[in-house]
């Protein structure tokens, strides 16, 4: 007797299979005829491992308009607004907003999130709040916390000390922001320092790296060298990397092999990068997204991150990683069928690899977390950003939604409309 049986779903690779779940693990995948306490018919629907977001700022989420709206829409005004908000936001405020966001995430099948937590203020209320959020959502969402010195490791007197304090409190990942240090030299030194800390503590390392339009912001070069030096490999991730969009091709032809050699991963954030970058340009205006396809061609694991939802930097967002993949597909011009399918993998399998998630996937023995979508294929899912018909976390159904076909009253036309299409079936 299985606890749960999902019948007839289409897996991301295109095969049709049943999935049996016992407890919090997948017991069997294939054709299964055994009894189950509950059966879900997924015939014709896409069954996927859960969505994963490797780059977010949960301490600021759902705070849009506090203390006021970012009028210029720039990164720097957003940082200034956040500086004002973090001085007055209470632990309870941040916990309440973050847990509400996690409700959204759960309903969208987003069951693993890596969030950067600002360690700049000495009070570390954000760290305290996010540790509490991690405890609350632990039964259904994997939450990784990054010690993130938003104002720079060295730019403030206690920047480095507070990163270490946050790690001692139980934060999982070492962060950094070298391009926000006072000088290029201090930015490079911050990376050497942070790389040592990550290596000595046996932790993952995720750096806001070169989130700027300045083609001379080349800190990722130093980061890749430190990743190689300390043998961190895929435990290290460079987030944003937007300056690479503005670099000359000759330099990039040397840089990308260095990144690939290190084994580090990359996390562009297309919704926020396309919104914040190029603000100093007239025309032509830069897109501000890193060189996704070129990095992938070199063997670098690249995943899409969401970064922000309704906060000082981004005024939209729904916790839907398919929105992120949809924007990334357009901005990176990933329109070949294989590239479109890859955009789906970038918010599932590739992001899970970046976060080093154990037991992820749709195979026997894996953690029983998955999503049933009203789509036939990964490409159709990116196109439609469809309803999540069911979300299962660790063997438990945590969210369900009825299929929501539109009803038509047009002479001679069908009574209902579904935007699925046989070309993507």
Question: How many angstroms separate the CA atoms of 347 and 363, rounded?
Answer: 18
Structure tokens at 255: 């840089």
77, 181, 211, 226: the catalytic one is 211
Question: How many angstroms separate the CA atoms of 196 and 171, rounded?
Answer: 17
Instruction: Say if residues 241 and 210 touch (Cβ distance below 8 Å).
Output: yes
**Which residues, 6+ apart, have CB-to-CB distance to 394 below 8 Å?**
24, 139, 140, 367, 368, 369
294 labelled catalytic = no
Question: How many angstroms separate the CA atoms of 188 and 178, rounded?
Answer: 7
Residues that are catalytic: 211
């Amino acid at each position: 007797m299985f606890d749960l049986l999902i019948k007839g779903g289409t897996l991301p690779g295109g095969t049709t299979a049943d999935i049996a779940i016992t407890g919090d693990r997948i017991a069997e995948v294939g054709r299964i005829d055994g009894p189950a306490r509950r059966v879900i018919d997924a015939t014709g629907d896409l069954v996927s491992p859960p969505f994963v977001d490797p780059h977010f700022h949960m301490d600021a989420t759902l705070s849009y308009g506090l203390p006021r709206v970012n009028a210029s829409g720039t990164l720097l005004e957003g940082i200034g607004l956040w500086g004002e908000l973090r001085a007055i936001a209470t632990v309870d405020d941040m916990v309440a907003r973050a847990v509400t966001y996690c409700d959204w995430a759960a309903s969208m099948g987003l069951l693993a999130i890596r969030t950067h937590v600002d360690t700049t203020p000495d009070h570390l209320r954000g760290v305290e709040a996010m540790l509490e959020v991690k405890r609350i959502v632990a039964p259904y969402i994997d939450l990784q916390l990054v010690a993130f010195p938003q104002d720079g490791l060295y730019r403030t007197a206690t920047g480095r000390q507070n990163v270490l304090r946050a790690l001692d409190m139980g934060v999982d990942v070492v962060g950094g922001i070298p391009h926000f240090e006072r000088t290029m030299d201090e930015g490079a030194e911050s990376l050497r320092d942070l790389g040592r800390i990550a290596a000595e503590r046996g932790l993952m390392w995720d750096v806001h790296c070169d989130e700027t339009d300045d083609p001379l912001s080349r800190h990722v070069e130093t980061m890749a060298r430190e990743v190689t030096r300390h043998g961190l490999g895929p435990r290290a991730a460079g987030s944003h990397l937007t300056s690479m969009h503005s670099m000359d091709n000759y330099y990039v032809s040397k840089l990308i092999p260095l990144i690939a050699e290190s084994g580090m991963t990359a996390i562009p954030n297309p919704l926020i990068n396309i919104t914040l970058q190029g603000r100093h340009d007239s025309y032509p205006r830069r897109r501000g997204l890193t060189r996704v396809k070129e990095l992938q061609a070199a063997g670098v694991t690249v995943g899409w991150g969401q970064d922000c939802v309704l906060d000082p930097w981004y005024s939209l967002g729904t916790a839907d990683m398919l929105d992120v993949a949809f924007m990334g597909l357009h901005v990176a011009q990933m329109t070949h069928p294989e590239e479109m399918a890859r955009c789906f993998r970038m918010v599932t399998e590739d992001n899970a690899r970046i976060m080093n998630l154990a037991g992820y996937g749709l195979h026997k023995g894996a953690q029983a977390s998955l999503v049933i979508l009203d789509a036939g294929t990964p490409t159709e899912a990116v196109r439609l950003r469809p309803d999540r018909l069911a979300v299962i976390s660790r063997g438990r159904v945590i969210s369900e939604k009825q299929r929501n076909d539109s009803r038509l009253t047009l002479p001679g036309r069908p009574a209902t409309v579904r935007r699925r299409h046989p070309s993507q079936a």
